[in-house]
A and B are shown apart, each in its own frame.
Chain A
Amino acid sequence: MTLQAWLTAAGGAVALVLLGWLALTRTVLGRGLAVPLRAMFVKPETASYPEAPRPTAPRFHGRHQLNRYADGLEKCIGCELCAWACPADAIFVQGGDNTEEQRFSPGERYAEDYQINYNRCILCGLCIEACPTRALTMTQEYEIAADSREGLIWTKDMLLVDPPEDGYDTPHTDREVRDRGLNYYGGLAVTPPTRKGGSFAPATAAPLQRAGAVVPRRELPLVPPGTGDAEGEPDGDGGSAGAGDA
């Protein structure tokens, strides 16, 4: 092959490739054909969804849950801040009054009713940011479809997690709660309130153990406070409540 013939052939090939490239990128038909052409070289994306759901992104905002302390008391105090924060007006909370015999949460107030309307919820997460006790968190569960509008309204019993191991379902009595001696809010607040009206309760009455940070209360070592545990904010109790944290 002469140099000239080789050059002609090469030129022809270049022209052909150029033409082909132009046809595939500059013409309507060509651009359409390019898609399946490209797809032939890509790994298939198909997921066998109901059988093998894929894990979501680590910070995916799925449906909500209402958490409990290690002893089973509800973290939710019925403050309605989540409802206030909600841009879609999807949350309804009705506060109630804890009594000595029927205690649902530390402090005076608990959520008598709690509903999230997933017809409206946009899963934006502003509610969990607003929650002052980390009672409301979001799971990674996204399968919340239902076949009726009513079915998309999740009530408190659906949202509340099961009591942790060694914890009890609510309500508890004040005596039980006091006997556990847990400190629910950190700091030095004593909860439930002492019944010593009119005088200072000694600070020694304030337990340093924080219920949010511990699991089985019997295994609670008297952690010398200040070893880091005192400040460690309990983990966002997604799923298993605080297991293995600290």
Chain B
Amino acid sequence: MSAPAAPGAASAEDLVTLTIDGEQVSVPKGTLIIRAAEMVGTIVPRFCDHPLLDPVGACRQCVVEVEGQPKPVMSCTVPVAEDMVVRTHLTSAMARRGQEGTLELLLVNHPLDCPMCDKGGECPLQDQALAHGANQSRFLDQKRKYEKPVAVSPQVLLDRERCVLCARCTRFSEQISGDPFIELFERGALEQVAIYEDEPYHSYFSGNTIQICPVGALTSTSYRFKARSFDVVTTPSVCDGCSAGCGQTVQSRRGEVQRQLARTNMDVNEAWNCDKGRFSFPHLTHAQRLTTPMERVDGELVPTTWSRALARVADAVRASQDVGPGRTALVSGGRLADEDAHVAARLARTVLGTDLVEHRTRFAPADEAPARAVLLARAGGAPGLTYADVEHAPVIVVAGLDPEEEVPVLHLRLRKAWRQHRARIVVVGPHLGTLDGIAWRRVATAPGAEPAALAALAYGDGEIAAALRGDGAPAVLVGERAGAGSLAAGTRLAEAVGGGVAFVPRRAGDAGGLAAGLAPGLLPGGRLLADAADRAEVEAAWGPLPAHLDGAAPVDGLRGILAAAADGAVDVLLLAGADLARDAQSAALAERALARVAGAGTVVVQDLALTETAARYADVVLPVTATQERDGARTDWEGRAQRFRRAVDAPELAQDDWEAFVQLAAVLGHRLYGSLDAIRAEQEQLGVRAAAHPLPEAASAGSTGAPSGDALLAVVRPLLLDGGTMLAGADDLRATARAATVGVSRADAARLGIVDGADVTVTGAGGATVTLPTAVLPDLVPGAVVLPRTSTEPPVTRLADEDGVVAVTLAPVAVPAEVGA
């Protein structure tokens, strides 16, 4: 098939020695000539060739001369051979002539509208025409004409006149992202890229085609005519859209982000990113963005100063401490940078004196955080299971995770493993989700029953067990929706078969929050609050922890915190990037808690935008900076920490989250940190626990309450493009969102008389309803439904009971005289 992808590991006999332009070079067997030439520093001009795509040999630009071959050779399609003598355009007149000829032909039908083309200035065709082309074309005739531009999706524009038909975009969509809704049509000079008549190019990865287009044929609507490549300030960054940790390039002009590109990082995202990462930046300048602190005066939020706002918070905290210890809570939503989370953890423990901390807006199983702390300590601060491990794993077990919706770039790696390395993907859970095209086997379980299935996977003589026990290290990926005990079960499975395991959270700050110990009963670096040695290590850095934290049983995550708040046990609720009214797994419980605290105490919201929680409940609102506006670091799901740099200035009075925390501590009389470097130094000093704790025992099969009667248990899956605040303003991006549907199994659909595509009313706890079209899923286990998390209005979190369980009944929307409800 294609060239091997693992250089470096090649032993001496796998090397082939050849001569390129008189220079001897040894490269791994199977390397293409064009890659070998790169190794000696010769860049052979090319258009269709892309190192991550299969060779196609369409553009015929990469002509080289190979001694002994009468015809010119296309270096992007021919692998090296022993003693091959290659002469590139630098030494061969034949190759140079060939390249000039091809360039002249390419320019025959290419309009010379470089000055108005968005690619002008960063265009491979422009650059190569300058470097390798003839200085004049002999073409006097008529160029082909097309309407320009055509929108192939709301965010991708196609200018067919400029297209050189290199098929990079079509190959990307077919080979990498696996949604080939963009194809070549027609033939001859009329060959053109197009979309199917009734299917726009809706892909989560469509932006990559724009980036790899070697001409200005594919451009993005959001960047159209906004700036020129030579007129932007380019800053390397890391995407904050999910826990994938994609390298990103932020390009700004006059302090405003113009576009974001995927930054090549072969260890993480290779050269790709998802559209959410690429196009979601308009939220930075959206009208909902907070730019100044606000406080609630007579029921209205009015602008104020930082000092007044912080003083009000500090007063509330002091008043609460007078009532009793541990009556404040801090919830961060999974957006915080690693440093923020670290400061938040210390602020909560030492200044606020509370263990009511949480970094997840979902009601995670009680054993999830301790189990993750164990994995963190075991990995010793380095990435545990990596993307590369996943790519080369012969078997990949995925439980409770839908990578394309949650961590899109991981989905690309899984696809690569499946396509190039023939990895066998085993999906454990109630449905296949977007892995349906590449899954090898599927172990169906009821929602939440994944641990038992995972535990059983390695045993017996089934084909899955045999595959897991075969050569190579399997990978186990456990996601957020796997039931209680899944991560421990997955870890034991990985241990049993000699593989690796990783927990894959969805949000970007999740891994950092966990590492900072931003969960009840946890301390930084995989330490436990209940462990005296751990506590001593942390106290060495932080000073003494309040005595009342000793021996107190940790609350049950966010559910416990909200329950306590609803019972009046919390006076001050600090929300850093957590829109609990929308995002908390149970909106009912969250609203009760927020209403109680807002009434009797103080709700502090520290966020990018004026969220629903802020607008309805906050007493104090603090504006903070976004990833693009600050320095920091984030840890991805692998455990890889990556720093990002400030690309644009923060709006008005917004400050970094850690600065807000530090200032609050200062008002309360505590000096925490003076700079990011100080935080980083302490993070480094603390490190992770030297020896990992034992894995938590499997919790008593905490059956998530089998619903009674007609109710169906919902798998609440977030969609990549939903109603999130980070997508505010990115209208073109949201236009490509997948339709929210309610996934129903065939058996249930037949039982309830629901047909595919028909609207149904979904009724959840407390009678809240959502009306959605049905998608009958053949792969869904009976008794379960699949619901999108925050794609609907009201969000599905409103259908949850106070335990966060969504048990729903479905009723077809009455269609005149059709199916009786």
| Residues on A facing B (Cβ under 8 Å) | 77-81, 83-84, 94-97, 107-109, 132-133, 188-190, 193-201, 203, 206
Contact = CB atoms under 8 A, between A and B. Distances in A.
B226 interface: yes
9 contacts: A80-B228, A84-B228, A107-B113, A107-B116, A108-B116, A197-B160, A200-B142, A200-B145, A201-B145
A133 B227 CA distance: 19
Contacts of A107: 113, 116
B150 A198 contact: no
- What are the 5 closest A-B residue pairs judged by CB atoms, nearest first? A95-B225, A79-B115, A197-B147, A109-B116, A201-B145
Contact of A108 (B120, B142, B149, B192): B149
Contacts of B146: 196-198
Nearest to B120: A79
B723 to A, nearest CB: 28
B145 A194 contact: yes
Contacts of B115: 77, 79, 81, 132-133
Contacts of A94: 226
A132 B115 CA distance: 7
Interface string B127-160: 0000000000000011111111110000000001
A198 B187 CA distance: 11
B16 to A, nearest CB: 44
A97 B221 CA distance: 10
Contacts of A96: 225
Contact of B226 (A83, A95, A194): A95
Nearest to B160: A197
Nearest to A111: B225
Given A77-B116, A198-B186, 10 more contacts: A79-B120, A84-B230, A108-B148, A132-B114, A133-B115, A196-B146, A197-B160, A198-B192, A201-B145, A203-B141
Contacts of A198: 146, 186, 190, 192
A197 B149 CA distance: 10
Contact of A97 (B145, B147, B225): B225
A204 to B, nearest CB: 10
Contacts of A203: 141-142
A197 B227 CA distance: 28
A109 B142 contact: no
Contacts of A193: 145, 147-148
Contacts of A195: 147
Contact of B111 (A84, A109, A189, A196): A189
Contacts of B144: 200
Contacts of B228: 79-80, 84
B710 interface: no
Contacts of A77: 115-116
Interface of B: 111, 113-116, 120-121, 141-150, 160, 186, 190, 192, 224-228, 230-231
Chain A CB count within 10 A is highest, among B111, B116, B224, for: B116
Contacts of A189: 111, 143
Nearest to B228: A80
A132 to B, nearest CB: 4
B147 A79 contact: no
B142 A188 contact: yes
Chain A CB count within 10 A is highest, among B114, B141, B144, B148, for: B148
A69 to B, nearest CB: 15
A109 B224 CA distance: 9
Contacts of B190: 198-199
Contacts of B160: 197
A189 B192 CA distance: 20
A84 B231 contact: yes
B150 to A, nearest CB: 7
A96 B150 CA distance: 17
B210 to A, nearest CB: 16
A79 B112 CA distance: 13
A198 B111 CA distance: 16
A133 B231 CA distance: 20
A89 B290 CA distance: 32
Contacts of A81: 115
Contacts of A108: 113, 116, 148-149, 225
A229 to B, nearest CB: 17
Contacts of B114: 132
B9 to A, nearest CB: 45
B512 to A, nearest CB: 38
A38 to B, nearest CB: 54
A161 B68 CA distance: 64
Nearest to B147: A197
A97 B159 CA distance: 14
A197 B163 CA distance: 14
A109 B230 contact: no
Contacts of A197: 146-147, 150, 160
Given A84-B230, A189-B111, A78 B225 contact: yes
B730 to A, nearest CB: 18
Contacts of A83: 231
Contacts of B150: 197
A108 B146 CA distance: 13
Nearest to B150: A197
B142 A194 contact: no
Nearest to B116: A109
A78 B144 CA distance: 25
B248 to A, nearest CB: 24
Nearest to B189: A200
B360 to A, nearest CB: 43
A156 to B, nearest CB: 15
B147 A78 contact: no
Contact of A109 (B147, B225, B231): B225
A206 B186 CA distance: 25
A109 B111 CA distance: 15
Nearest to A188: B142
Nearest to A196: B145
Contacts of B111: 189
Contacts of B149: 108
A214 B691 CA distance: 84
Contacts of B226: 94-95
A138 B116 CA distance: 22
A214 to B, nearest CB: 22
B145 A190 contact: yes
A212 to B, nearest CB: 15
Nearest to A204: B142
A210 B603 CA distance: 68
